[in-house]
Amino acid sequence: MHLILTGGHSGLGLELTKMLLNQGHQLGLILRNEKRKADAIDAIGASDNIDFFFADLSKQSDIRQVAKEIISKWDVVDGLFSNAGVLLEQAYYSDQGNEMHFEVNTLAPYILSRELMPALEKAQNPFIVVTASGSAREINNWSPDIPDLKKPAKFVKLTGSYRYSKLALVMLMVHMAEENKHIRIISLNPGAIDTKMARGKGAPFFIKLLRPFVFEAPEKGAQRVYDAAFGDKYQTHTGIFVSSKGEIQHIENKLNSRHLGQINAAIIEEE
């Protein structure tokens, strides 16, 4: 299979890269720059089964351009793993004027999925798997506030912009699944995984205290992502959320036309 993966150079994504290579897949890793390519090669070695593509996922024009490059090189994409994300210590804003968690964690996977749709549609059994967080119960009890995601009135580490950007991502992918029933689309919570993100400035102090005791190795999260794509349990489902325990959960909370209009307004279309 020809598979695209974001965030495949470190942490959970790196372990997923190793798994997919071991299974003989052709991978397209979307990385920010040559430095991250070097990091990936240092970790896994050179491989004829990897094509490297470059894009800053906070820049919508980069996402569109890299999608064009992928389609030009591959023509068919069998699956997309949107794994890259950010967990930041304060509010930063993208070139498009969106708070960075909303830009990278919510909009980037959505735009990349849309732009790769022509190549996915040519595959026999195409899929999209996005790395999210939380639970179906949490999502179903949440009232989306897209303007606050775009520009938070108050920034809160982890439980604020990051958390809500991931909940919005799940709802957006459920909407995409309803609009593209021929493509299997799954969001999942990989669990609390010990990565650089969990150790970074965006992680509150209590996370750093808990990390050595309750966080799991990246291999555990990677296996859950892999299973969501290839496990027999999920082959006939789309528009679902998979819990960290592997349970299939359905999202009843839907984005309405106002939400979708606000999200589309945050996407800067090229002239």
Answer whether residue 214 shows pLDDT above 90: no
Asked if 61 and 36 count as a contact pair (C-beta separation under 8 A), the reply is no
pTM of structure? 0.94
Is residue 16 classed as helix, strand or coil in its secondary structure? helix
pLDDT in tens, 176-205: 999 999 999 999 999 988 787 777 787 778
Residues 6+ apart with CB under 8 A from 174: 185, 187, 239, 241, 251, 254, 255
pLDDT in tens, 233-249: 999 999 999 999 999 99
Tell me how far apart the alpha carbons of residues 66 and 149 are, in angstroms, rounded to a whole number: 25
Beginning with the edge strand found earlier in the chain, give each strand of the sheet holding 26-31 in spatial order. 50-54, 26-31, 2-6, 79-82, 127-131, 184-188, 240-242, 248-250
Is residue 83 classed as helix, strand or coil in its secondary structure? coil
Q: Which fold has domain 2-265?
A: Rossmann fold (3.40.50)
pLDDT in tens, 26-41: 999 999 999 989 988 9
